[in-house]
Structure 1
Amino acid sequence: MITNNKSEQTMVERAAPKRGRLKSLAVAAAFVSIGLLASFQAQAATTWKIQSVWDAGTVGYDLFEEWANSMEEKSGGELIIKPYPAKSVAADNNGLFEAVRNGVLQGMNPFTLYWSGKIPATVFLSSYPAGPDQPHHWDIMFYSMGMLEKTREIYKKYGLFYVGPIQHDANIIHSKRPVNSLEDLKGMKMRVPGGMVAEVFQQFGVSTVSLPGSDIFPALEKGTIDAADYVGPAVNYELGFSQVTDYIMFGPPGVMSVYQPVDLMDLTVNLRAWNALDPELQQLVEDEVRNYSQKHYLTIQKRNIEAMKKFVAEGDTVTRLGQDDLEKFRRAAIPIWFNWASKDDDAKAILDIQIEYMMNPTMGYITEEDLKAAKGM
């Protein structure tokens, strides 16, 4: 009996190390599986490089960077967006456009109007003189009236996918003397964007000049120009415009700008990169762009409110055009709208959507008589 017990004990003792080894092997196999899974997930993740036109250190870029970095977690690690500030990969706007088309970058966050020379329809994909002047007008046209689908159809011809608009701000005018009516513009030398905006202001006796943003302050300081358009109050205050002008021209109450009231940005990506995404991931990106648009807009508007208090405290005066002025401005602008739309079938298709909306009784911005006058009928 003793011998048998010893034998059984010996067998148990011999079996124990074997079970230990099997357990160790199982644990090791589990770690290998986890490692392989993590490796697979890392390989499966899609990485996009996206360059913004905002400079590093600006509120615009901080917001864009925060949004881009959030996408990895929101996508469960499936999409990683690496943000880049202005000029960091592509040195200029032309380079940015081509870098996205060619796949050097997978996407861009530009001001949509930048491409009016390359994609003529974009002149109507952000605000223009006396057009729809509230941010929600543009969201309605994009998301409820088919303008988003038409825009995507246009961009597809260039190997691009237009994900969606991003609300930004209005552009406003700072001047050395008060502008209380359109008549007060006559004889002024003003920095404005070229193209459609310049053409409309010229109808009211303005001598328009084109200057890069960095040249505006010295031109106002030296008196070589009387007034200048640029972006919204927050940025313009930081640029020191209160030091060289005394007046800020707005439209009627509730309208900051009659010529560029809703200056839209967007997210546009390489078409091949977009098509490579799973449909559920595509939908996530679209939804998050809409969320980002709201946060971007509201943050900048908060900064604008704070900046306007500073302008007023430093002696600047807000002047406003009246509703009659806005209607005169629109009548002068409408023929110029159609001039620009006649240059390109896609531009005309976009303007047609907007005309339908502006003629609807919910808007009432233009009438049949306005159209007849624009067409010389």
Structure 2
Amino acid sequence: MKKINALLGAAAAVALTVGAASAADVTLRIQTHYAPETVSGKLAQQFVDDVETMSGGEIDIEMFFSSSVVKSVETFDAAATGILDCDMTGGAYQTGKNPAFQFVGDIMGGYDTPYQQLSWLYQGGGFEAADQLYRKYDMKLVGWWIYGQESLASTKPIRGPEDLKDWKFRSPPGLETEIFANLGAKPIVMDFTEIFTALETGIIDGADASGIANNVGLGLYDIAKHANYPGFHSMPSDHLACNANVWDGLSDKHKRIIDTSMQKLALQTALTFEVKNAEAVAGLPEKGVTVHNWSPEDKAMFRAAAQKAWDGWATKTPEAGALVASHRAYLKQLGLIAE
């Protein structure tokens, strides 16, 4: 009996050891620029819950919201160097490394809907081309989550292109600054987390921050009483990108769980914002916010200016040229451009 009890005790100890090891298999430190109270922040938290639940607790995610570890533009490098494990911001922040990141981060003047843009990634040959770019910088692209066209926030009317003259606004780095500057605006590159204070103090007249529901969540329209909807200028692909060594060290099971959770996040983000953006717009007039809807002609003017700017960026690096060519071919296939 003593021998049996000893064997049972040993077996229990082994089981506890295995269970403890399993529970601590993987901890991923991920940073996003979104605040937890925004729609995107809540969706990111659901992604965390999906991964942890499907892995049975084998994967633990520490999510750092509101760029609380490093600045938004520094998240990619922090993951590549091991300060973090993964980056949940967007590729457009990395255009200083290679202009090609513009065309996996914010294509500008390209696709009309998140579904079209996602289809380039998964059906149009985009994923392989994009991942090759990320691998050059010791990172692995896992997936995108796209909330749709962005809307602007402004303390001044933004009725059409004529109102962009001398309009000072927060812009992310990259192609956008060039396009808006050519249209007469004065883009100022600043971190996502600095927008509210800059608007409040009058450093800027407006901001390109996010989709209109996220802008409401950030409180931008408490200060800025002008918006535009539907958007037309920008539809960023927020990404999940992980340190390549960290990703390669995951089991196939864990990779599949994260990939599946990411694709769910992509779908739920697009679907959720269809509703949330409409709800946000409906509630803005009672807050004293004027919503401007640019005419088709004005939107076409912007899109033409954006796609003309692509050509200059396509000459900057071979990777940028390849991605621009890929997007043009796929946009033509979808019937969104004629050439």
Q: TM-score range by the shorter chain?
A: 0.7 to 0.9
Aligned to 1:372: none
- The question of whether the paired residues in 2 share the 8 Å contact of 1:185 and 1:204 is answered with yes
Per the normalisation by structure 2, the TM-score is 0.86
- The question of whether the paired residues in 2 share the 8 Å contact of 1:128 and 1:259 is answered with no
Report deviation, 1:349.
1.5
- Residues 89-100 of structure 1 mapped to structure 2, 5 A cutoff: 90-93=69-72, 95-100=74-79
Q: SS at 1:125's partner residue?
A: helix
Report deviation, 1:301.
4.8
Aligned to 1:259: 233
Question: If you compute each CA radius of gyration, which structure gives the higher value, 1 or 2?
Answer: 1
Q: Over aligned residues, Cα RMSD in angstroms?
A: 2.8
State the number of aligned residues. 337
Aligned to 1:6: none
Note if 1:53 corresponds to 2:32.
yes
Report deviation, 1:185.
3.1
Aligned to 2:244: 271
Shift in CA distance, 216/39, structure 1 to aligned 2, threshold 3 Å: closer
Shift in CA distance, 353/74, structure 1 to aligned 2, threshold 3 Å: same
Q: SS at 1:263's partner residue?
A: coil
Task: Render the CA deviation track for 1:91-139: whole Å, top value 9, x for unaligned.
Answer: 2346533332233432221222122212432101133331113101111
Shifted more, 133-142 versus 109-118: the winner is 109-118
Note if 1:305 corresponds to 2:278.
yes
Aligned-partner Cα distance in 2 for 1:73–1:222: 44
- Residues 200-219 of structure 1 mapped to structure 2, 5 A cutoff: 200-213=179-192, 216-217=195-196
Please, which of 72, 82, 102 is the counterpart of residue 103 of structure 1? 82
Aligned-partner Cα distance in 2 for 1:218–1:363: 42
Aligned to 2:212: 233
Aligned-partner Cα distance in 1 for 2:21–2:85: 18
Structure 1 spans left out of the alignment, 5+ residues = 1-21, 251-255, 369-377
Aligned to 2:174: 195
Aligned-partner Cα distance in 2 for 1:284–1:92: 28
Amino acid at match of 2:15: L
Shifted more, 346-355 versus 77-86: the winner is 77-86
Aligned to 1:323: 296
Report deviation, 1:142.
0.5
Report deviation, 1:177.
4.6
Aligned to 1:43: 21
Aligned to 1:158: 137
Shift in CA distance, 228/292, structure 1 to aligned 2, threshold 3 Å: closer
Please, which of 38, 48, 52 is the counterpart of residue 68 of structure 1? 48
Per the normalisation by structure 1, the TM-score is 0.78
- The question of whether the paired residues in 1 share the 8 Å contact of 2:72 and 2:192 is answered with no
Amino acid at match of 1:266: H
Structure 2 spans left out of the alignment, 5+ residues = none
